[in-house]
Amino acid sequence: MKKFDNIKNRFPVNPWDISEKKYNPSDYFTNETLFACANGFIGVRGSFEEGNYLGHSGTYINAFYESNKIEYGEKYVGYPSEGQSMVNVANSIKIEISIDDEILDINKGELIDYNRKLDFRNGILKRKIIWKTQSGKKAEISFNRLVSFENKHLIAQKIEITPLNFDGEITYKSFLDGTIKNYIDEDDPRIDNKFKKSVFKTRELYNDEFMFLNQITKKSGKEYSVGLKESIISKSKYKVKKYKDTDKLYNEYRIKAKKEKTITIEKFSVYYTEMNYLKKQKIEVELEKAFEKGWDYYEKFQKEYLEKFWNDSYIKIDGDDALTQGIRFNMFHLLQSTGKDGYTNIGAKGLTGEGYEGHYFWDTETYVLSFFLYTQPETAKKLLEFRYNTLDAARDRAKEMSHTKGALYPWRTINGYECSSYYPAGTAQYHINADIAFALKQYYQVTDDFDFIKSMGIEILVETARLWEDAGSYNSEGQFCINCVTGPDEYTALINNNYYTNLMAAENLSFASEMVEKIKTESPEIYQELKNKLKLSEEEHFGWEKHAEKMFYPYDEKLKINAQDDSFLSKPIWELDKTPKEKFPLLLNYHPLVLYRYQVIKQADLILAEALLPHKFSDEQVKRDYDYYEKLTTHDSSLSTCIYSIVANRIGYEKEAYEYFINTSRTDLDNYQGNTKDGIHSASMAGTWLGVVMGFGGMKIYNNELHFDPKIPEKWNEYTFKIKFKNRIIKVKVDKTKADYSLEKGEPLTIYNKGNKIELS
Ligand code: BGC
């Protein structure tokens, strides 16, 4: 097994928050990601209000991007022409505080006390400092920030300044800064480097009753507006001046400060995209409303919202607070970064950084969606709606790729159109089609929401099934083969019969057929509509059934293992134990072709198939496969360790299951991948939840019924989680000797514990 660095808790262990008691400049950039606040629509990195010390402050709006021309040395047919990159929009949290003209900068003067905390129970980021100027004046300053779950357009701030040993003048400035740029790192292919200059043109700047900025992206003409208003709500005396600069607005307050009298400032900003006329008026009304309600109202709402979230997605590990902290931190960030309106999704880096350009990948359906499905199915449904709303783009893409029918979903996208420029590890990952179909099947099994299948799901299923029919072909032995694709393992590309792809495609084909039949029998009118809309013939779906049945699965008779693809096992083995540590991740140190020539694996591939469809494989088979592939896997992708943990649990490799799980659960908290500064790893975060529920809990759906096969790591005394299943809420509690299942809500249900029937009522 790969040796992971020992857990090195970067934060004090507390199951409900992350906190710092010391300012450490070298952690600043990474911690900007970890302390980010978001609500699925807006995300704000955890940068300090008074300035951007050593990192990169960022404010992002889900699905708001700028297009760019993808430059290729040699451009072939079907290569996407336009990229999409999430852009950093105006910074509205920025402030400046001066005492006697000495500007607050915690690297200067003396930082007497420092405390920062992001509390998962109320979603509020608080920082309190005591700072002494070089001339000896001391002040306590507290910063409170939230990105509202009540109004997705709103960021609220409360700032309190208390002079501790002086009376005098304090200057406070509040900014709306539209001069921001995206982050650049020329050496990392996972970072977009196209936007060296600002992507925006400012169209309107206004500073009177409130600040207002309207900007438009230079290339694609996408527009957003932001308004900001602040008010000193304590009884302090002050004079205010308003300024308008190029692309930037600010107000300056000169406040008469009195020793030990706190100056309290409330500040709200509101972001809107793509509004028609009246945007300024609309934003003004929203700001007024925010002031009527005030900070305390939003703080309370945030807490109530999160109380419900934690109740719905209850999870606790008794005996390991560091893991509980990791798991809850991850769930909190998933909630924060996921779009909930059917038109936005969750980027691989959430709304916390610019890595992978804010793109949505298969990470959503294969990892993140399950977490929501079993805890907040309505959010899972919205994520699936996103794929329905972008189905036409996938149909266009299939045509571009010379398919005669069907839809091909993009490997990377924001607006539904493919924008991956490196096709071997991009477009060639056709499995994304099957991943989406698999998520639909899971959604249907867990919610019984047949209406959704009839209204939206079925179109996705039909079009993805058609794509497989068009992409696959029969070999001379009558087996259905899918050639020249890339599976999940991106260190192996453009191969024939990737086992994972073939298996998932077969699922896609047969589920599509099953649903067509069901609609035909149960809702003949809808079936007629579908037939017309999709030009579906009476027989078409029988063909899909046949392809699924005849699907080819490569197997090595000598090794008695499933082969990752047709050619993988014939390549030489990459000697991972002889590869120096600094050469990892391999993708940053070797040309892709070098990697493609070896048996070396970036992330769970065949093992992922065995994790997602456990009933299709015997324990003995999984064990042999695991023993073989595990040694070749680098886990250079953060999507890997959670899957290895799940499968290790199944075959009784307790120590490995636990080690892989630790790595997953604290991937970002402890910066295991080394690039948390560019944003969270959302798939791995969700993988933590999967690791507990599907790994240790051994949960799976088989024959439309729920099965558990719980294990408990030595270090834990007990663990508990709740899931929603077919309109019930089930609580599962596992200790050293037994598992308890209770029905918290809903009709009686039969479930299985280690194969034995249990009637829940
Ligand atoms: C992984 C992909 C993943 C992407 C975004 C890559 O490193 O190989 O599977 O979709 O990151 O998370």
Q: What percent of the chain has pLDDT over 90?
A: 93
Question: 614 CA distance to ligand 1 centroid (A)?
Answer: 23
Question: 639 CA distance to ligand 1 centroid (A)?
Answer: 7
Cis peptide bond N-terminal to 585, omega within 30: yes
Residue 656 known to be catalytic: no
pLDDT in tens, 315-330: 999 999 989 999 999 9
Instruction: Answer yes or no: CATH 2.70.98.40 is held by domain 35-68+82-301.
Output: yes
In angstroms, the CA 613 to CA 374 distance is 17
> 343: which DSSP letter?
S
- Token pair of 619, please? 């324990």
Q: Are 643 and 605 in contact (CB under 8 A)?
A: no
Does ligand 1 have an atom closer than 6 angstroms to the CB of 360? no
Residue nearest to atom 8 of ligand 1 (CA): 637
Does ligand 1 have an atom closer than 6 angstroms to the CB of 369? no
Does ligand 1 have an atom closer than 6 angstroms to the CB of 361? yes
Per-position DSSP letters for 573-635, written without gaps between them: BP-GGGS-GGG-SGGGTS-HHHHHTSB-BSS-SHHHHHHHSGGGS-HHHHHHHHHHHHTTB--
The CA distances from residue 557 to 121, 483, 554, 560, 569, in Å, are 54, 21, 10, 5, 12
Residues 6+ apart with CB under 8 A from 129: 106, 111, 112, 113, 114, 115, 140, 141, 142
Atom of ligand 1 at shortest distance to CA of 636?
Answer: 7
β-strands 237-245, 248-257 pairing: antiparallel
Atom of ligand 1 at shortest distance to CA of 359?
Answer: 5
Does ligand 1 have an atom closer than 6 angstroms to the CB of 490? yes
- Token pair of 159, please? 């700032």
Q: Given this model, what pLDDT does residue 279 score?
A: 87
Does ligand 1 have an atom closer than 6 angstroms to the CB of 700? no
- Residue 191 phi, psi dihedral angles, 5° rounding: -115, 135
Q: Which of 217, 212, 214, 215 is nearest to 269 (CA)?
A: 212
Does ligand 1 have an atom closer than 6 angstroms to the CB of 636? no
In angstroms, the CA 121 to CA 126 distance is 13
Does ligand 1 have an atom closer than 6 angstroms to the CB of 357? no
Residues 690-694 have a mean pLDDT of 98
Q: Is 669 left (phi over 0), alpha (psi -120 to 50) or beta?
A: alpha
Q: Are 320 and 660 in contact (CB under 8 A)?
A: no
Q: Which of 46, 52, 159, 173 is nearest to 106 (CA)?
A: 52
Question: 387 CA distance to ligand 1 centroid (A)?
Answer: 19
Q: What percent of the chain has pLDDT over 70?
A: 98
Confidence of residue 5 (pLDDT cuts 50, 70, 90): low
Does ligand 1 have an atom closer than 6 angstroms to the CB of 604? no
Question: 626 CA distance to ligand 1 centroid (A)?
Answer: 21
Is 603 annotated as belonging to a binding site? Answer: yes
Q: Is 451 left (phi over 0), alpha (psi -120 to 50) or beta?
A: alpha
Which residue reads 């008010």 in tokens? 231
Task: Calculate helix-pair angle for 458-471, 524-534, nearest 10 degrees.
Answer: 50
In angstroms, the CA 155 to CA 37 distance is 9
Does ligand 1 have an atom closer than 6 angstroms to the CB of 356? yes
pLDDT in tens, 136-154: 999 999 999 999 999 999 9
Residues 689-700 have a mean pLDDT of 98
Atom of ligand 1 at shortest distance to CA of 681?
Answer: 12
Is 602 annotated as belonging to a binding site? Answer: yes
Confidence of residue 6 (pLDDT cuts 50, 70, 90): low
Atom of ligand 1 at shortest distance to CA of 488?
Answer: 9
Per domain, the residue ranges of the chain are 1-16+313-376+617-761, 35-68+82-301, 390-553+565-600
Confidence of residue 276 (pLDDT cuts 50, 70, 90): low
Which residue reads 């599962």 in tokens? 732
Does ligand 1 have an atom closer than 6 angstroms to the CB of 603? yes
Confidence of residue 184 (pLDDT cuts 50, 70, 90): confident
Q: Are 23 and 48 in contact (CB under 8 A)?
A: no
Q: Is 703 exposed, middle or buried (0-12, 13-18, 19+ CB in 10 A)?
A: exposed
Q: Which of 505, 643, 632, 481 is nearest to 568 (CA)?
A: 632
Q: Could you give the angle at the alpha carbon of 375 between the alpha carbons of 371 and 377, nearest 5°?
A: 90
Residue nearest to atom 7 of ligand 1 (CA): 637
Give the least confident one: 183-187, 301-305, 308-312, 612-616.
183-187
Residues 6+ apart with CB under 8 A from 158: 144, 264, 265, 266, 267, 295
Measured in residues, the chain has a length of 761
Residue 722 has pLDDT above 70, yes or no: yes
Does ligand 1 have an atom closer than 6 angstroms to the CB of 10? no
Residue nearest to atom 5 of ligand 1 (CA): 348
pLDDT in tens, 517-575: 999 999 999 999 999 999 999 999 999 999 999 999 999 999 999 999 999 999 999 99
DSSP helix/strand/coil, 359: coil
Confidence of residue 268 (pLDDT cuts 50, 70, 90): very high
Does ligand 1 have an atom closer than 6 angstroms to the CB of 683? yes
Atom of ligand 1 at shortest distance to CA of 683?
Answer: 12
Mean pLDDT of the chain: 96
Helix and strand tally (H, E) in the chain? 19, 31
Residue 192 has pLDDT above 90, yes or no: no
Residue nearest to atom 6 of ligand 1 (CA): 637
Is 544 annotated as belonging to a binding site? Answer: no
Residue nearest to atom 9 of ligand 1 (CA): 488
In angstroms, the CA 395 to CA 409 distance is 8
Q: Are 421 and 413 in contact (CB under 8 A)?
A: no
Q: Could you give the angle at the alpha carbon of 266 between the alpha carbons of 263 and 272, nearest 5°?
A: 160
Q: Could you give the angle at the alpha carbon of 69 between the alpha carbons of 64 and 70, nearest 5°?
A: 105
Atom of ligand 1 at shortest distance to CA of 490?
Answer: 8
Question: 356 CA distance to ligand 1 centroid (A)?
Answer: 9
Question: 640 CA distance to ligand 1 centroid (A)?
Answer: 10
Atom of ligand 1 at shortest distance to CA of 637?
Answer: 7
Atom of ligand 1 at shortest distance to CA of 356?
Answer: 5
Question: 716 CA distance to ligand 1 centroid (A)?
Answer: 31
Does ligand 1 have an atom closer than 6 angstroms to the CB of 605? no
Does ligand 1 have an atom closer than 6 angstroms to the CB of 602? yes
Question: 176 CA distance to ligand 1 centroid (A)?
Answer: 35
Q: Which CATH number fits domain 390-553+565-600: 1.50.10.10, 3.90.1260.10, 3.40.50.1100, 1.20.1730.10?
A: 1.50.10.10
pLDDT in tens, 49-58: 998 678 889 9
Question: 472 CA distance to ligand 1 centroid (A)?
Answer: 25
Residues 86-106 have a mean pLDDT of 95
Per-position DSSP letters for 418-481, written without gaps between them: ---S-GGGTTT-THHHHHHHHHHHHHHHHH--HHHIIIIIHHHHHHHHHHHHHHEEE-TTS-EE
Ligand 1 pocket test, pick from 420, 637, 667 with the greatest ligand atom count within 8 Å of Cβ, gives 637
Q: Which of 501, 636, 642 is nearest to 568 (CA)?
A: 501
Question: 567 CA distance to ligand 1 centroid (A)?
Answer: 23
Catalytic member of 266, 490, 630, 656: 490
pLDDT in tens, 330-355: 999 999 999 999 999 999 999 999 99
Please give the span between the terminal C-alpha atoms of the chain, in angstroms, as a whole number.
43
Confidence of residue 7 (pLDDT cuts 50, 70, 90): low
Residue 277 has pLDDT above 70, yes or no: no
Does ligand 1 have an atom closer than 6 angstroms to the CB of 637? yes
Ligand 1 pocket test, pick from 361, 641, 667 with the greatest ligand atom count within 8 Å of Cβ, gives 361
Residue nearest to atom 11 of ligand 1 (CA): 637
Question: 744 CA distance to ligand 1 centroid (A)?
Answer: 37
Residue nearest to atom 1 of ligand 1 (CA): 637
Atom of ligand 1 at shortest distance to CA of 363?
Answer: 10
pTM, full prediction? 0.96
Helices (H), 279-352: 279-312, 321-337
Is 362 annotated as belonging to a binding site? Answer: yes
